[in-house]
Structure 1
Amino acid sequence: MNGLHAVVTGGGSGIGAAIAAALHGAGAHVTLMGRDEARIRAQLASLPGAFATTVDVASADSVRAAFEAVALLSPVDILVNNAGAVESQPFTRTSQAVWQRTLDVNLTGAFLCTQQVLPGMVERGFGRIVNVASTAALKGYAYVAAYCAAKHGVLGMTRALALEVAQKGVTVNAVCPGYTETAIVEDAIAKIASKTGRSAQAARAELAAANPQRRLIQPDEVAQAVLWLCRRDSAAITGQAIAVAGGEVM
């Protein structure tokens, strides 16, 4: 990874923070992007030499400004589209606003960020794009139709773009984590507990039961998959959806 510049969106916590740490540890120059400035800047303490900038990936203007600032440092060689959000509601109670917001953050955000870096990658003949897509890109989950639709869209975009740039030195892949030990899952556990009256421990066990290993995925396990896909010698791996889910999807 020495000499490569990696941008990680949603890099302030959870999977994004773990990915940034893994890339930094492998020698990459790392830029963290996220909406919460305090959160992403807090991560810099453990990443000497890293850079951070705020961005709203759902806003074309915000994305353009963020990547223009990053371009002043050095060209972007690696992009990890990790920023995401989920809201759980029955389908018939999902408003159009929630639907659009979910698509904007999870799908349009990846599209906008990728458009900013792809031309330079193609021009230089090298690039690694990894989209964090979730097992919700590979199967359905009740009560998160908007999220599943968005993540299925991310995977479709991944596959289409991988073919488009297959001879340009750029690879495009997706990693698809199952339920992972992050703030998003903690929120899901709290909601299950409050709505069902079960304990947080029972709610956590319910989510873990979806994994044949009967556990939640750890952020660093996802980060190691991303790191592998970003390596210079992973050039033959493109258009793939790598499930990091203990066998939940196969």
Structure 2
Amino acid sequence: MPLSSPPLLPTDPQHFAGRHVLVTGASRGIGWAVAKAFAAAGASLSLVGRDAASLQQRAAEITGPQNSATLQNSVRAFAADVADEAAIGKAINDAQAAQGPLDILVNNAGFGASKPFAKMDTGHWREMLNVNLDGVFFATRAAIPGLLSRPQARVITIASTAGLTGYGYVAAYCAAKHGAVGLMRALAREYAKRDITFNAVCPGYVDTEMTETSIRTIVEKTGRSREQALAELTAGNPQGRLVKPEEVAATVLWLAMPAAGAVTGQAIAVAGGEVM
């Protein structure tokens, strides 16, 4: 009889009990997978995103009657755009007022768009940096005082393989993600003597709405079929597939565990061997 596959995520419902986790971009994609994983492991959650209604719906899904009663009132939603310095600062302060100092910050909010470099205007450049780099800076800076007051604090930023290598037609996105990785590395050195780690998780193409948008763009611009567009995106992955959001979430949870306390300043690719 073949062995069954082990679970991707911790199965102990109290693994992160007493820990306050804030996830940006939490209403969908990787952010939602990360939020669900921490909730299942007992963490108190603060969900941050731009769409208040979507966040409230997600919070209700976690705390619904189908889930453990221990999750009731442990999930809060805070609407904010990470690219708005004042708004994300207020959201983090409000989250800590409601649920105590942060233990773990997951900088997940991000957005990708393509444009040939010669046709790239300042607006496109700023849009990519505002969300993917400035947002990480604003959220991390606002969270640092609370994090430094807690044992085994963590800052985990969802970057991209675009933070580790270059791709054509996404120069601004690559620049922003390289910046996010560099920020984590710099902070890991600056705070090496404190009980806090800073790491980046760098997925390849993940089975999320953002990848679906990329597929639609390829179809619209090239006339290829959806299957052909998907094959183009997965061609760079030696495993020949999209990464699952749960695989990224599992990496985030591992970095948040006490056993990963010596892992800091790292950029971990979750990309099927695309980047080594």
Q: TM-score, structure 2 length as denominator?
A: 0.89
Residue type at the aligned position of 1:192: I
Deviation at 1:43, TM superposition (A): 1.0
Alignment partner of 1:89: what SS?
Answer: coil
| 1:36 matches 2:57 | no
Residue-by-residue CA offset, 1:86-126 (whole Å, 9 max, x unaligned): 12110011110110111010001000100111122223343
| 1:88 matches 2:114 | yes
| 1:68 matches 2:83 | no
Alignment partner of 1:171: what SS?
Answer: strand
Select the structure of larger CA radius of gyration: 2
Residue type at the aligned position of 2:75: A
Alignment partner of 1:116: what SS?
Answer: helix
Partner of 2:81: 56
- The answer to whether the 8 A contact 1:103-1:150 is kept is yes
- The answer to whether the 8 A contact 1:13-1:40 is kept is no
Residue type at the aligned position of 2:196: V
Partner of 2:190: 164
Deviation at 1:205, TM superposition (A): 1.0
Partner of 1:20: 35
Partner of 1:99: 125
- The answer to whether the 8 A contact 1:127-1:171 is kept is yes
Q: Distance in 2 between matches of 1:121 and 1:10?
A: 19
- The answer to whether the 8 A contact 2:101-2:150 is kept is no
Deviation at 1:65, TM superposition (A): 1.3
| 1:205 matches 2:248 | no
Number of residue equivalences = 250
Runs of 5+ consecutive residues of structure 2 not aligned to the other structure? 1-15, 64-73
- The answer to whether the 8 A contact 1:90-1:144 is kept is yes
Q: Distance in 2 between matches of 1:164 and 1:134?
A: 23
- The answer to whether the 8 A contact 1:6-1:80 is kept is yes
| 1:7 matches 2:22 | yes
Residue type at the aligned position of 2:130: D
Q: Distance in 1 between matches of 2:21 and 2:147?
A: 12
CA RMSD of aligned residues (A): 1.0
Q: Indicate the percent of aligned positions where both proteins have the same amino acid.
A: 49
| 1:217 matches 2:261 | no
| 1:228 matches 2:254 | yes
Q: TM-score, structure 1 length as denominator?
A: 0.98
| 1:122 matches 2:137 | no
Deviation at 1:245, TM superposition (A): 0.2
Partner of 1:112: 138
Q: Distance in 2 between matches of 1:28 and 1:195?
A: 43
Alignment partner of 1:124: what SS?
Answer: coil
Deviation at 1:166, TM superposition (A): 1.1
Q: Distance in 1 between matches of 2:21 and 2:104?
A: 4
Residue-by-residue CA offset, 1:153-187 (whole Å, 9 max, x unaligned): 00000100001111110000000000001111101
Deviation at 1:214, TM superposition (A): 0.2
